[in-house]
Every structure is written in C-alpha cells, then in structure tokens.
Amino acid sequence: MTFRATILTLYPEMFPGPLGLSLSGDALSREIWTLEAQNIRHHGIGRHRNVDDTPAGGGPGMVLRCDVLAAAIDAAAPVDDPRPRLLMSPRGKPLTQSRVRDLAAGPGAIIVCGRFEGVDERVIEGRALEEISIGDYVLSGGEMAAMVLLDACVRLLPGVMGKEASGTDESFETNLLEYPHYTRPREWEGRGIPEVLLNGNHAAIERWRRAEAERITRERRPDLLGKG
C-alpha cells in the first residue's frame, strides 16, 4: 500500500521542497509514497479568488473562510477517503513519535496548511479536522509544519531506511532520549571513544547505552520519565 499525502495550501510551489531530497526524496522517486499539493485558492470566491475575510467580532488579521476551505477539502478527498484529515495548528495536540508511527502505518494523510490568523472553526468541526502542533511556537503558515510531519512519517515506511532498527532504536521510541554516538577516529582533539564501546562486550554496551539514555533524559527531558 502506497502512503498518499495530499497537501492543501495557498503555496503549492513550496512542495516537495526538502521532501524531494535525501530519504524522503528517494522514497518519493521509488513511489513508496506520493505527494500532491493542491492550491486552496482554486476554490476562492469571485474574480480575485478570495480565500479569507475579517474575523467576526473584530480583531487583527484575516481568517480563512470555511466555505472555501471546505470546497478544497471536498475536492481533494471524497467522503469515503480513509485518510485522516489533519490541520497543522499551534493550538493542536503535540505531534509525538507514537502518533507518527500510527500515521505511517496508515494509507496517508490529507494535510491542511493554515494561514493568516487562523481557520474558521466551522470547517474544523464540519470536516472533522484533527489539529496537530509540532511545537509551542507560531509559524507563518502550516507548510513547514506539514513537511516536518511528513518527513517523520516517510522515514518509517517500509523500504525507506536501510535498517529497520534505525527507526526503533532512537529518541522517543522508549520514552528516552537517544544515547551518544561515536565513530572514527578513535581519538579527536584529546577526546576518546568510551572504552566500553570498543571491547566487544555487547551486554556491557547495551547497559552503557541504557544508562546514558536515562542520564540524558533526566537532564534534558525529565517529563518523559515514567511515561508509558
């Protein structure tokens, strides 16, 4: 089953962008996944294809119209389309590795990239959009956030990474941050590789990696400890 991503955006020329390079780009060329960026403005109102209007109740900025966005969603995804409908939004639920794995195991996603002050609440409710945030900060639009989400998903698709373990033995997979990595040269600027990694004792190596992962998590993300 091919993972299909449909992006609804006012700036389709931003895609594939970095998604066309490296692992995701190679997977795209091998049709492990597909990407289609559709212009919301094609469904705009009037001669100028207007997509936004002033906020009800007053206030700064503009709001993306519910009728315009609903028309774009309906054109991109018929009612029986099984893919989840996502809205990249700073007020959404935080994107987690667990959610990424769930999405990567599915048929793909329809991703709405918001702009302006926000999206009319009625289309969020009427088209069952799931709001997702990639962090506690605000971007100019949802396009960069959509790229982050898709990159996280695509790298987990079968056949994308060289080794299956590459996607399971890393940060957030076990509610721990990843342990430190080392490679050649053995000595660099007076710094050596920890001896335990050089003695071939795999049980000792695993214990060291676990202890280091726990140490780094305690120092940097104590909120992760005890989860799951």
The model's confidence at residue 214, banded by pLDDT at 50, 70 and 90, is very high
Least confidently predicted of 24-33, 170-179, 185-194, 202-211: 170-179
pLDDT surpasses 90 at 107: yes
Domain boundaries, the chain: 3-154, 169-224
Between vectors from CA 226 to CA 161 and to CA 158, what angle results, nearest 5°?
15
Strands 3-9 and 108-113, bridge-based pairing: parallel
pLDDT for 163 equals: 64
pLDDT for 147 equals: 98
The model's confidence at residue 170, banded by pLDDT at 50, 70 and 90, is low
Report the alpha-carbon distance of residue 97 to residue 101 in Å, rounded.
6
pLDDT for 167 equals: 53
pLDDT for 1 equals: 83
pLDDT surpasses 90 at 195: yes
pLDDT for 174 equals: 81
- CA nearest 8: which of 184, 127, 166, 137? 127
Q: What is the mean pLDDT of residues 42-47?
A: 97
Distances (CA, A) of 51 to 141, 196, 217: 14, 60, 45
SS3 86: strand
Do 205 and 196 contact (CB within 8 A), yes or no? yes
pLDDT surpasses 90 at 140: yes
pLDDT surpasses 70 at 164: no
CB atoms within 10 A of CB 41: 16
CATH 1.10.1270.20 matches 169-224? yes
For residue 187, what are the β-bridge partners? Answer: 192
Give the helix/strand (H/E) hosting 215: helix 202-220
The model's confidence at residue 139, banded by pLDDT at 50, 70 and 90, is very high
Give the helix/strand (H/E) hosting 119: strand 118-119
pLDDT for 173 equals: 73
Percentage of the chain surpassing pLDDT 70?
96
Do 145 and 139 contact (CB within 8 A), yes or no? yes
152 φ/ψ angles, rounded to the nearest 5 degrees = -65, -35
CB atoms within 10 A of CB 98: 13
pLDDT for 169 equals: 61
In CATH terms, the fold of domain 3-154 is: Alpha/beta knot (3.40.1280)
Per-chain mean pLDDT for the chain: 95
CB atoms within 10 A of CB 26: 14
Give the global pTM.
0.91
Report the alpha-carbon distance of residue 38 to residue 33 in Å, rounded.
17
Report the alpha-carbon distance of residue 174 to residue 209 in Å, rounded.
13
pLDDT surpasses 80 at 23: yes
pLDDT surpasses 90 at 171: no
Percentage of the chain surpassing pLDDT 90?
92
